[in-house]
Amino acid sequence: MILVVWMEVENRSQNIRLQVPIEEREQPVYSDHFEAFETYGEALDRYSQLLNIERVYSASIAGVMRSTDYDSEQKSQVDVA
């Protein structure tokens, strides 16, 4: 299992729904996202797409080291030696 993890940034002044005071509207709003993929190639494709999106502040590809979502015998596809 391979994860693509990214952070998006949005300027509060462009988001009327937040209803924040005028003096605070220039503060950016950050949101975290992730998607899981079965292969590194699929993850790399998504990562490449994210790099072309202006609001993406950072992006990473990561392997699952340990998780409650998967069988403990399942090996990670990323070599962490």
Q: Cα–Cα distances in Å, from 36 out to 19, 44, 73? A: 33, 11, 19
**Contact criterion met (CB below 8 Å) for 23 and 76:** no
- C-alpha–C-alpha distance, residues 10 and 32, integer Å: 12
**Contact criterion met (CB below 8 Å) for 71 and 11:** no
pLDDT at position 81 over 50: no
Domain boundaries, the chain: 2-63
pLDDT in tens, 25-80: 567 788 999 999 999 999 999 999 999 998 898 999 999 888 887 654 554 455 44
